[in-house]
A and B are shown apart, each in its own frame.
Chain A
Amino acid sequence: MFQYEKALQYPVKIARPNAKLAKMIMSQLGGPNGELGASMRYLNQRYTMPLRELQGLLTDIGTEELSHMEMVSAVICQLTKGLTPEQLEAQGFADYFVDHTAGIYPVSAAGVPFNAATFQSTGDAITDLNEDLAAEQKARTTYDNILRLADDPDVRDVIRFLREREIVHYQRFGEGLRLIQEQLAKYAPDPENPYAFNTSFDPMPVRPQPRQGAPAGVSLRRK
C-alpha cells in the first residue's frame, strides 16, 4: 500500500509567477510524455512482470513518478498563484482559466486532457520494458524542450532535476531488460528465438541442462 510523506522529493520555490510557463510545464503533468502517464504505466505493468526484482523496480519508479507529478503540480501551482484574471489572460492562460480557473488539471501544453492511450501495458515483459525505455526518453526530450523555452532559474533548477531522473530511470530499465534477456538466454528452449513465448504469460520453459563436463558452447537446442 501507499503512504504519504509531507515533503517534496526536491524543493520547489519559485519567486515570480508566470502563467505562460505554467501552461508549457503542464504537459509534464497531463501530456503524452508526462508524469501521470509514467506512473500509471509502471504501476499497472508491474503485476505481470516475470521477475520479482523487476516488479520491485516498476513499483519504485512508478512511486517516484507520483512524487514527480506532485513536483510538477507544485511548479504550476506556484507559477499561477496570485495572478489576476487580466494578468492570466495577458500571459496566454485565458483558455485554461475558463474551464479550470487556477485549479490543477492534467492536460498537455496544447490543452488536450490526459489520456490513458498515451501509455501501454501489454503483459509482455520485453514489450513493456521497451515501452518504458522509450517513455523515459520521451519525457527527457520534453524536459529538454521546456529548458529551451524557460528562462526562470527557479523553474529551470526543478526541471533539470526531473530531467536527470528520466535518464536514471532509463538506465535502470535498460538493466532490467538485460536481466530478462539473461533469463531467456538461460532457459528459453531456443536461444535463437527469444520471442517463441511471452515471458510474462507463458510458463517459463526449462531447457534440458547439459551433462556435467559437456564442452562450453554446446548446442542446447531441443530435438
Chain B
Amino acid sequence: MMKKPSKSWDAMGKDELLRAVQANQFAVRDLMLYLDTHPTDANALSALMLRRQDYADAADAYAKRFGALTVMHVNDEDGWVAWSNTPWPWEKEAN
C-alpha cells in the first residue's frame, strides 16, 4: 500500500478540521457502498484504507483540541460533562 504524506491536522482551525473529518468519513461511507457490490476491487479497498486512516487521524486531532466526537474520545481530564453538556450536532453552533 502506498504511503500517504502526513496531513497537517494540527494546523487547521476548528471548522476546517471538522470539515476534514466529515469529508473523510463521507469518503469512507461512499467506498463502503461501492465495495458492497464490488468486493474484490483492490483499488477501492486501498482507497478505503487511506481514507479510513485520514478519518481516524483527523477525528483524533479534532477530539484532542475541540472535544470528543465519539465516546472513545471522552477522557477524565475534560470529564463526561464536556461530552454531554456541549452542543449536539443538530444545533447550529455544532456545524
Q: Are A52 and B84 interface neighbours, CB within 8 A? A: yes
| Chain B residues within 8 Å of A56, by CB | 83-84, 88
Within 8 Å of chain B (Cβ to Cβ): is A181? no
| Chain B residues within 8 Å of A52, by CB | 84-88
Q: Interface 1/0s, chain B 64-94, versus A by CB < 8 A?
A: 0000000000000000000111111110000
Residues of A87-104 at the interface with B, using a CB-CB cut-off of 8 Å, are none
Q: Are A53 and B89 interface neighbours, CB within 8 A? A: no
Within 8 Å of chain B (Cβ to Cβ): is A47? yes
Q: Are A47 and B90 interface neighbours, CB within 8 A? A: yes
Give A46 to B90 CA distance when docked, in angstroms: 10
| Chain B residues within 8 Å of A55, by CB | 88
- Measured between C-beta atoms, what is the minimum distance from B49 to chain A in Å? 17
| Chain A residues within 8 Å of B88, by CB | 46, 52, 55-56, 59
Q: Are B84 and A53 interface neighbours, CB within 8 A? A: yes
| Chain A residues within 8 Å of B86, by CB | 52
| Chain A residues within 8 Å of B87, by CB | 52
Give A56 to B90 CA distance when docked, in angstroms: 12
Q: Interface 1/0s, chain A 49-63, versus B by CB < 8 A?
A: 000110110010000
- Across the interface, B85 reaches (CB within 8 A) one of A1, A46, A53, namely A53
Give A52 to B83 CA distance when docked, in angstroms: 10
| Chain A residues within 8 Å of B83, by CB | 56
Q: Interface 1/0s, chain B 14-39, versus A by CB < 8 A?
A: 00000000000100000000000000
B interface vs A, CB < 8 Å? 25, 83-90
Besides A52-B86, A53-B85, 14 other CB < 8 A contacts?
A1-B25, A1-B89, A46-B88, A47-B90, A52-B84, A52-B85, A52-B87, A52-B88, A53-B84, A55-B88, A56-B83, A56-B84, A56-B88, A59-B88
